[in-house]
């Protein structure tokens, strides 16, 4: 999903985790490719971890 902001992805991740659907089911329901979901989750997870390490 080109142009999707970090805040939007974070909302998508939280939404997916809060409902009882697999990532694949969630993505299909919301028109997101599984690949885009996992790529963004990996990218933002790394960024979040790096930020947390910087504040330790």
Q: Which two tokens stand for residue 8?
A: 């939007």
If you write DSSP's letter for every residue of 15-41 in order, what string do you get?
HHHHSS--HHHHHHHHT--HHHHHHHH
Mean pLDDT (whole number) for 26-55: 86
The pLDDT tens digits of the residues spanning 5-28 come to: 988 998 999 899 899 899 999 999
Global pTM value = 0.76
């Amino acid at each position: 999903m080109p142009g999707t902001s970090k805040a939007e992805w974070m909302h998508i991740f939280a939404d997916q985790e809060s409902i009882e659907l697999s990532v694949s089911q969630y993505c299909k329901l919301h028109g997101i490719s599984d690949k885009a979901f996992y790529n963004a989750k990996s990218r933002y997870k790394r960024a979040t971890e790096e930020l947390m390490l910087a504040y330790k």
